[in-house]
């Protein structure tokens, strides 16, 4: 399908994890508005159904599947069914994530496992499933949604920061391994975003980012010229909270 300036992603297929709400939903809608076929996944089927209904107002190429990205069998099914429905995945946005905050010594082993499994292992499993297809096609974009917590530390952020610092390292290594195949691996690091995400406490919506701000950064990355590589984007609100 020929691309146009108005729809620069008309030949693309994007998979957005955690696309049922918040940042993932905003990213999915933004990519659809640029012409991409879009698949979303998540655990909440009600949220997925609402989001895919919104997607279908913009494109006939929309797909949703309930999936747990921490399970390899769920991931394999998600990738296979997405490509059967929409075609080869050319854009992967690893957005699904959770936050558990509080002193490390007060957290349980289950808290640790859930945070690292979702924020890190999930990225590994979904990327591992998609990358071979991208290599065969000679290119693609992988955008990992990290956080400024992957660059900084704060009291009560031990599990979350650990997962995001590790994601920074995983993403950097993936970028070096895959660039020779024409695959760009980028990281977006937002500060506080006004969403349903269970953060450290109430947020003043005038002093934080919106989900649309993060979606804008992702759109910028996946519409850049073929010779450039935006490896990392830091997003901060203009007004400090």
Long-range contacts of 62-65 (CB under 8 A, 24+ apart): 62/32, 62/37, 62/38, 63/37, 63/38, 63/39, 64/19, 64/20, 64/39, 64/40, 65/39, 65/41
Closest by CA to 167, choosing from 89, 96, 76, is 96
Q: Which residues are catalytic?
A: 160
Cα→Cα distances 21→37, 42, 48, 96, 159, Å: 18, 9, 8, 10, 23
For residue 209, the 8-state DSSP code is B
* Cβ contact 21:97 at 8 Å: no
């Amino acid at each position: 399908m020929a691309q146009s300036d108005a729809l620069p992603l008309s030949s693309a297929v994007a998979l957005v994890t955690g696309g049922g709400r918040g940042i993932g939903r905003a990213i999915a809608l933004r990519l659809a508005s640029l012409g991409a076929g879009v698949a979303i996944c998540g655990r909440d089927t009600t949220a997925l159904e609402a989001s895919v209904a919104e997607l279908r107002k913009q494109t006939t190429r929309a797909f949703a599947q309930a999936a747990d990205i921490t399970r390899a069998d769920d991931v394999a099914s998600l990738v296979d069914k997405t490509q059967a429905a929409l075609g080869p995945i050319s854009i992967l946005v690893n957005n699904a994530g959770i936050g558990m905050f509080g002193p490390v010594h007060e957290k349980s082993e289950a808290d640790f496992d859930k945070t690292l499994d979702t924020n890190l292992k999930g990225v590994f499993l979904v990327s591992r499933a998609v990358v071979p297809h991208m290599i065969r096609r000679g290119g693609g974009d992988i955008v990992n949604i990290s956080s400024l917590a992957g660059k900084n530390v704060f009291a009560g952020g031990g599990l979350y920061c650990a997962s995001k610092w590790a994601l920074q390292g995983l993403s950097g290594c993936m970028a070096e391994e895959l660039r020779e195949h024409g695959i760009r691996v980028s990281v977006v690091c937002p500060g506080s975003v006004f969403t349903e995400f269970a953060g450290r406490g109430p947020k003043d919506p005038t002093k934080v980012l919106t989900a649309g701000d993060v979606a804008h950064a992702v759109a910028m990355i996946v519409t850049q010229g073929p010779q450039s590589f935006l490896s990392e984007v830091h997003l901060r609100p203009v007004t400090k909270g």
